[in-house]
Amino acid sequence: MMYTVIIPAAGQGKRMGSDRNKVFLELDGRPVIYHTVSKFDEDASCQAIYLSARQDEVALLTELLKGFHKVKGLVIGGSERQYSIYNALKVIPPCEVVMVHDAARPFVSQETLTELYDAACAKNAVIAAVPVKDTIKVINNGVIDHTPDRNVLWQVQTPQAFKYELLLEAYQQAAESRFLGTDDASLVERLGVPVSVVVSDYDNIKLTTPEDLYFAEAIMKKRGI
Ligand SMILES: Nc1ccn([C@@H]2O[C@H](COP(=O)(O)OP(=O)(O)OP(=O)(O)O)[C@@H](O)[C@H]2O)c(=O)n1
Ligand SMILES: O=P(O)(O)OC[C@@H](O)[C@@H](O)[C@@H](O)CO
């Protein structure tokens, strides 16, 4: 048994403030998306990689990824991350386990991939996350409302791994009720299905704002890249 991964890459990268989609920014001479795809290409448990791309970037992405034989398809993304992923989910061949991973997270470790895949085989749904380090406040109109117990707060990442049928059902139901979530697990949670957590690491950052590029440089230096 192996898994299929959907990698949404059809965003605009507005918060990065770059003149192009952030997944094409270069780290060590290679685009971010190249690093991300290579993580799955190198994982022996990954059988197929599908990406969501912007219409005007399909040709560029195809050229960039032509050396990765596990890349089986590119679909056109939508106006929201969730729509981009659903467009891919609707066309991938049915499989046992499907993972979703942001193109903008190039530092996912093999250890996290293995733990997620093993957990997804045993359970229905599992996501990568790390405990929050800061104290989190709920603030209304500039004033603290309350301070949630930090022991139960986690910072959620991708990959997120699910049984294929479950994720498809979750996406179908979200579409029917026009629910828009900021991650994939939130769509599954709505079905009342428990979603487990694998403890990931703090290197698995999402490149979101310009300072994340400094963190990316530091992570690569640490890894000797
Ligand atoms: N309509 C969209 C929006 C996002 N994504 C992808 O989803 C991942 C995570 O989204 P995010 O970090 O929010 O990326 P952007 O939407 O590009 O960023 P921003 O919100 O700053 O524009 C990224 O790999 C991005 O390319 C996508 O495929 N389709
Ligand atoms: O909310 P954002 O648009 O920054 O990111 C959306 C998702 O990519 C994000 O929620 C997952 O990576 C989990 O953190």
In CATH, what number is assigned to the domain containing residue 195? Answer: 3.90.550.10
Do 162 and 146 touch, CB atoms closer than 8 A? no
The residue whose CA has the least distance to atom 9 of ligand 1 is 102
Cα(13) to ligand 1 centroid in Å equals: 6
Task: State if residue 157 touches ligand 1 by the CB under 6 angstroms criterion.
Answer: no
Do 109 and 204 touch, CB atoms closer than 8 A? yes
Give me the domain span that covers residue 72.
3-222
- CB atoms < 10 A from the CB of 146, how many? 8
Task: State if residue 187 touches ligand 1 by the CB under 6 angstroms criterion.
Answer: no
Burial (CB count within 10 angstroms: exposed 0-12, middle 13-18, buried 19+), residue 187? buried
pTM: 0.98
Does the pLDDT at position 225 exceed 90? no
Ligand 2 pocket list (CB less than 6 A): 81, 102, 156-158, 182-183, 206, 208
Q: What is the mean pLDDT of the chain?
A: 97
Work out the average pLDDT over 62-68.
97
The dihedral formed by the CA atoms of 25, 27, 32 and 38, expressed in degrees to the nearest 10:
150
* Ligand with smallest separation from the Cα of 205: 2
How far from the centroid of its chain's Cα atoms is residue 205's Cα?
Answer: 10
In angstroms, rounded to a whole number, what is the distance separating the alpha carbons of residues 225 and 214?
14
In angstroms, rounded to a whole number, what is the distance separating the alpha carbons of residues 225 and 220?
5
Relative to beta strand 138-140, strand 143-146 is: antiparallel
How confident is the model over 69-103, as pLDDT tens digits?
Answer: 999 999 999 999 999 999 999 999 999 999 999 99
Number of domains composing the chain: 1
